[in-house]
Amino acid sequence: MRNRNFALLWIGQATSAVGSAVTSVALPLVAVSTLHAGPAPVALLTAATWVPWLLIGLPAGVWVDRWPRRRTLLIADLASAAVLVAVPIAAWTGILTMPLLLAAALLAGVAGVFTSVAFNAFLPHLVGPEHLMESNARLQTTASIALVAGPGLGGLLAQAAGPVSGVLLDAGTFLVSAACLLALRAGPEPRSGHRATFKIADGIRFIMRGRLLKTMLVVAAVTNFAMLGLTALRVIFLVRAEGVAPGTAGLAIGAGSLGAIAGAAVAAQAARRFGSARTYLVASLAAAPFVLLLPLGGPGWRLAPFVAGSVVALGGATMANVMTMTFRGTFVPGHLLGRVTAASRIFVFGTVPLGAATAGLLASAIGVRTAMWVLAALYVAAPLPLLATEARTDRDFPASPGVHGAVQEAVDG
């Protein structure tokens, strides 16, 4: 935090994270309260935010490796602000429809693809490998705090001023992030040569060369499929199926994210004491079963298991996420980082719209609560393949490519 560049980046990301967390509740509430949408359209709304990973995820990695990453982040922030501010304007003028809301979610998702890839490629350059673990942990901590404050704020804003007010707030936070990026004083960024920028497959080959990266990718993809399916249903489960007030539902969702704050806060310390690979394995396996408490939620005291399950599950997921981001940031060569990040996230985030759409179909066919049970069971089973990798025996993740060396030489050559 004494580093001016990191402090500015942190302020911008923390502010936009709060806004995005508000929108995660506000946008479904716009669909439910303003447009009177059912489970399937609400789930499709979540899916629309993530569909761009399937459409442009891989080429986005190539473009990010070729373009200045700070400029990419700045353009993405401004585009997000423009798209989001259009939602309340459409609502106030009486022209907002479900297709328009889906289009806004889709366009915001496109900007989010570039933000995610460029940010993860830009951070190691900004802070250096020696500070990457602490930087990731701090960013995850603030993102987790945003997940606590944002949904509750979104629910309260929806009750006090209407759901679209939360979306307008999110648009403003992207402008704050853009201002912080403009104030950075970062040195020249590492960039690929002209020839390498067009090798989309290099990121995929780098991942597939090693069993550990490949297995981590599969586990993350299945985990996200299940968790984002649960996320797509949680508002309609609590508000529509169980009769919980929107403000109370937002507070419960936010309180469940307290575990993510704890997980991010202790991640770096746990990695130093027990090892990064061990921390990742235990966090992935031990916390997953607690997600089975979510379908037990309901009004009154029945919100307790929903919150408790969210706390533990999100705590473990956040610790695993810090380990994964740090491993990738130190292990992958800088000129490949955009493409490897994009290749990873197209598989991980590309499952999100499938999970959300599947959740909507399941909820329509077998009921919201039963659909949540099915998705929770899948989430518990997802980390089991990690037991067949070196994460089961090694203390720490490798710090250099090792078996990936041949791929690196081919790319460099």
The CATH number of whichever domain residue 106 belongs to comes to: 1.20.1250.20
Count of alpha carbons within 13 angstroms of residue 267, beta-carbon side? 37
- Residue 201: count other Cβ atoms within 10 Å of its Cβ: 11
Angle made by CA atoms 232, 28, 224, in degrees to the nearest 5: 25
Tell whether 192 is covered by a domain: no
d(CA 28, CA 34): 10
pLDDT at 373: 93
Amino acid at the residue 138: R
Four-CA torsion 293, 298, 304, 310, nearest 10 degrees: 50
Q: What is the CA radius of gyration of the chain?
A: 20
SS3 per residue for the chain: CCCHHHHHHHHHHHHHHHHHHHHHHHHHHHHHHHCCCCHHHHHHHHHHHHHHHHHHHHHHHHHHHHCCHHHHHHHHHHHHHHHHHHHHHHHHCCCCCHHHHHHHHHHHHHHHHHHHHHHHHHHHHHHCHHHHHHHHHHHHHHHHHHHHHHHHHHHHHHHHHCCHHHHHHHHHHHHHHHHHHHCCCCCCCCCCCCCHHHCCHHHHHHHHCCHHHHHHHHHHHHHHHHHHHHHHHHHHHHHHHCCCCHHHHHHHHHHHCHHHHHHHHHHHHHHHHHCHHHHHHHHHHHHHHHHHHHHHCCCHHHHHHHHHHHHHHHHHHHHHHHHHHHHHHHHCCHHHHHHHHHHHHHHHCCHHHHHHHHHHHHHHHHCHHHHHHHHHHHHHHCCHHHHHCHHHCCCCCCCCCHHHHHHHHHHHC
Tally of residues, the chain: 413
Amino acid at the residue 14: A
Tell whether 84 is covered by a domain: yes
Q: Is 377:225 a contact under the CB 8 Å cutoff? A: no
pTM of this structure:
0.67
**118: which 2 tokens?**
């460029």
**150: which 2 tokens?**
């944002």
Which residues form the domain of 407?
Answer: 4-185+198-412
| Mean pLDDT of each 10-residue bin along the chain, 413 residues long | 80 84 80 79 79 81 80 92 91 89 90 86 76 78 72 70 80 91 74 51 75 85 88 81 74 78 84 89 92 85 87 90 82 73 76 79 87 93 90 81 41 35
pLDDT at 148: 66
Tell whether 193 is covered by a domain: no
Tell whether 250 is covered by a domain: yes
Tell whether 176 is covered by a domain: yes
Tell whether 191 is covered by a domain: no
pLDDT at 340: 80
pLDDT at 191: 55
Q: Give the list of residues 6+ apart from residue 382 with CB closer than 8 angstroms, or none.
A: 219, 222, 223, 226, 288
pLDDT at 186: 67
pLDDT at 185: 78
Task: Express each pLDDT in 15-58 by its tens digit.
Answer: 888 888 788 778 888 888 788 877 778 878 877 887 887 788 77
Total tally of structural domains belonging to the chain = 1
Task: Express each pLDDT in 314-344 by its tens digit.
Answer: 889 889 988 888 887 777 776 677 778 777 8
pLDDT at 16: 85
Residue 103 class from Cβ within 10 Å (0-12 exposed, 13-18 middle, 19+ buried)? middle
